[in-house]
């Protein structure tokens, strides 16, 4: 489909409807998909329902739901009539939901059945109604309140402009208080087109959605992009546990998936690497690069079959991919790709497809997006990444001062990320400006680089490097269950063996890390972190909670 359409959701959908109306659009795994024609009928009925509730262009309507076909139906219905959707992350606490509904002046909430308890007792000056998203039934019924009619059609005619506000997305970022990112129809539609330019999508593609639709990464590239090209999206309907995901992969045989680094890193460390180093002979052979590449190729073929055997795009975004894991993906010919962006950019700024991998890079800037490096000093080729383009947000909702601090008068967005370009214009991310540690001798230390080394050490699940009293401290979450399983034959002899083993690993890890980083990045203290770190929707550690 040509990308000359007007950059609004209704324009995109109308073009898809005329060309791909009979093709499958949305589905729950194990259920019959609905076509774009059927989806359109449901969207029209939902628009009519919203009209009966008095929703008008510019009004705010929230979605608090797990991923499912009706998430997309509600999203399209809200935005097609010029209202503003407020997607809420399912992990938000009731007190956070209350605050965000109040801040956004939301009038109606679509909530999935399992999340309805979070809405109990929540009232604001604006909130009128809560609707169960599975069947659009009214939860808080008032006398004479309208019911959903599956055959209804909207009475209004809506002419949505490209620069009309489409969504307010509250980030659950690594730095604390959520901010309401205002994205227009043009912001999101432009970004979907850029995704299609990086990896062309066909109407025959099958997406399997496992990241929350309330996050702009999955929302733009996992909902709007497939709709733009008439592809079908499948949903699990529940959190993607291995027991649920593995059979779904074999049933759907997805061609396209969007993930975060943690997912593929966990698969590599728990399944792939142990199989490649299960005995002493294999461990020795694995250290030889030519043999390692052969072993990776064999492992890659098996991994592809685990994902259904027809995968041609495995997008990784939201955080930096571990170097060792990425090397495996390249050598195994696994069809991975990397993208870089922020919620404030709807979200894509740069990326590469599986045909052009570049180790530890995010690839070049998207066509039509400008990126530049603003150096903090003359001695470094690195600096803060600034971005400009049609995908840059309107600003933070009700926060003009905060908006002016991140967007310059001439339209450049300060990403807060440190990076550099190579001679081929590939972008390399070093870390966050705020997380960079400046040592007493003036040297810059990037904790993400040290964490990448730590996370390759055996039995490490995740880590966080911070500075405390002038010393670099590594907070490390070891896999206690894995250690117990591996050394269970000794547990009867030494009751506290696991604790002793963690202490040994802690000492050994410090030597391991310090032999692999420069002298300014050497860790002085390693602390065993008992509980998993608190994370964002894209599984990045919330640094502000630990620094």
In this structure, what CATH number is given to the domain that contains residue 121?
Answer: 3.40.50.12780
Task: Flag whether 254 is in a domain.
Answer: no
Domain boundary among 218, 235, 252: 235
Among residues 76, 346, 61, 57, which one has the least CA distance to residue 227?
76
Residue 249 forms part of a structural domain: no
CATH of the domain at 536: 3.30.300.30
Q: How confident is the model at residue 484 (pLDDT cuts 50, 70, 90)?
A: low
- Ordered DSSP codes for 190-207: HHHHHHHHHS---TT-EE
Picking from 235, 270, 296, the residue at the C-terminal end of a domain is 235
Sign of CA dihedral 385, 386, 389, 393: positive
The verdict on residue 251 lying in a domain is: no
What's the rounded Cα separation, in Å, for the pair 95 and 266? 32
Confirm if 192 and 15 have CB atoms less than 8 A apart.
no
Are 159 and 223 part of one and the same domain?
yes
Judgement on whether residues 35 and 110 belong to the same structural domain of the protein: yes
Q: In the numeric block, which tokens belong to residue 103?
A: 């801040």
Q: Which of 134, 113, 152 is nearest to 68 (CA)?
A: 134
Beta-ladder partners of 168 = 182
Task: Look at the pTM and tell me if it is higher than 0.75.
Answer: yes
Residues 277, 409, single domain; the answer is yes
- Using one digit for the tens of pLDDT, what is the confidence trace for 342-386? 999 999 999 999 999 999 999 999 999 999 999 876 667 789 999
Average pLDDT over residues 170-196: 86
* Contact criterion met (CB below 8 Å) for 50 and 76: no
Angstrom distance (rounded) from CA 196 to CA 547:
39
Secondary structure of residue 313 in the 3-state scheme: strand
Sort 21 into a burial class: Cβ within 10 Å, 0-12 / 13-18 / 19+: middle
Task: Report CA 134 to chain centroid distance, whole Å.
Answer: 24
For residue 354, give its domain range.
260-432
Helices (H), 279-364: 280-286, 289-306, 323-331
**Could you give the 3-state DSSP secondary structure of residue 76?**
helix
364: Cβ–Cβ under 8 A, 6 or more apart, which residues? 350, 352, 424, 425, 426, 427
Task: Give CA–CA dist 265/217, Å, rounded.
Answer: 19
- Direct distance between the N- and C-terminal alpha carbons of the chain, in angstroms, rounded to an integer: 48
Domain-located, residue 92? yes
Residue 72 lies in a domain: yes
Lateral strand order in the sheet of 471-478: 460-468, 471-478, 525-528
**pLDDT per residue over 188-245, tens digit each?**
999 999 999 999 999 999 999 999 999 999 999 999 999 999 999 999 998 888 889 9
Question: At residue 18, does pLDDT exceed 70?
Answer: yes
CA dihedral 506, 512, 513, 515 (to 10 degrees): 150
Q: How confident is the model at residue 433 (pLDDT cuts 50, 70, 90)?
A: confident
């Amino acid at each position: 489909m040509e990308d000359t359409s007007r950059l609004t959701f209704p324009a995109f959908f109308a073009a898809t409807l005329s060309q791909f109306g009979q093709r499958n659009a949305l589905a729950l795994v194990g259920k019959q998909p609905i076509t774009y024609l059927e989806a359109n009928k449901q969207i029209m009925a939902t628009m009519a329902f919203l009209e009966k509730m008095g929703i008008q262009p510019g009004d705010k309507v929230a979605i608090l739901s797990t991923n499912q076909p009706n998430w997309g139906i509600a999203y399209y219905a809200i935005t097609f009539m010029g209202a503003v959707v407020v997607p809420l992350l399912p992990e938000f606490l009731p007190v956070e939901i209350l605050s965000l509904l109040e801040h956004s002046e939301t009038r109606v909430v679509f909530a999935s059945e399992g999340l309805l308890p979070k809405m109990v007792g929540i009232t604001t000056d604006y909130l009128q109604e809560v609707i169960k998203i599975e069947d659009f039934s009214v939860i808080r019924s008032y006398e004479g309140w309208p019911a959903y009619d599956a055959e209804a059609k909207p009475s209004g005619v809506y002419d949505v402009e490209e620069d009309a506000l489409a969504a307010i997305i509250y980030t659950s970022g690594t730095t604390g208080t959520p901010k309401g990112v205002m994205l227009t129809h043009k912001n999101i539609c432009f970004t979907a087109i850029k995704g299609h330019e990086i990896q062309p999508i066909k109407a025959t593609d099958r997406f399997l959605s496992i990241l929350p639709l309330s996050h702009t990464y999955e929302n733009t590239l996992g909902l709007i992009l497939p709709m733009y090209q008439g592809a079908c999206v499948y949903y699990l309907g529940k959190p993607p546990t291995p027991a649920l995901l593995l059979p779904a992969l074999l049933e759907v045989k997805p061609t396209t998936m969007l993930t975060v680094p943690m997912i593929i890193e966990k698969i590599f460390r728990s399944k792939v690497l142990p199989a490649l180093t299960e005995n002493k002979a294999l461990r020795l052979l694995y250290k030889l690069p030519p043999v390692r590449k052969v072993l990776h190729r064999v492992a890659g073929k098996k991994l592809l079959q685990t994902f259904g055997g027809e995968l041609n795009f495995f997008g990784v975004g939201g955080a930096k991919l571990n170097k060792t894991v990425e090397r495996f993906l390249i050598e195994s010919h696994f069809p991975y790709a990397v993208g870089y962006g922020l919620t404030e950019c709807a979200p894509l700024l740069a990326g590469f497809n599986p045909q052009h991998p570049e180790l530890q890079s995010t690839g070049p800037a998207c066509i039509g997006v400008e990126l530049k490096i603003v150096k903090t000093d003359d001695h470094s080729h690195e600096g803060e990444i600034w971005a400009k383009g049609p995908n840059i947000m309107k600003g933070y909702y009700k926060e003009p001062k905060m908006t002016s601090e991140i967007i310059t008068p001439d339209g450049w967005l300060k990403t807060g990320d440190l990076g550099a370009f190579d001679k081929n214009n590939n972008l390399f991310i070093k870390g966050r400006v705020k997380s960079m540690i400046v040592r007493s001798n003036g040297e810059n230390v990037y904790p993400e680089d040290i964490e990448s080394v730590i996370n390759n050490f055996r039995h490490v699940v995740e880590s966080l490097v911070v500075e405390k009293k002038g010393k670099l401290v590594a907070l490390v979450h070891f896999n206690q269950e894995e250690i117990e399983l591996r050394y269970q034959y000794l547990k009867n002899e030494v009751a506290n063996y696991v604790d002793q083993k963690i202490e040994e690993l802690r000492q050994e890890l410090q030597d391991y890390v310090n032999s692999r980083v420069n002298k300014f990045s050497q860790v002085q203290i390693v602390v065993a972190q008992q509980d998993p770190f608190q994370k964002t929707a894209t599984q990045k550690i919330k640094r502000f909670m630990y620094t």
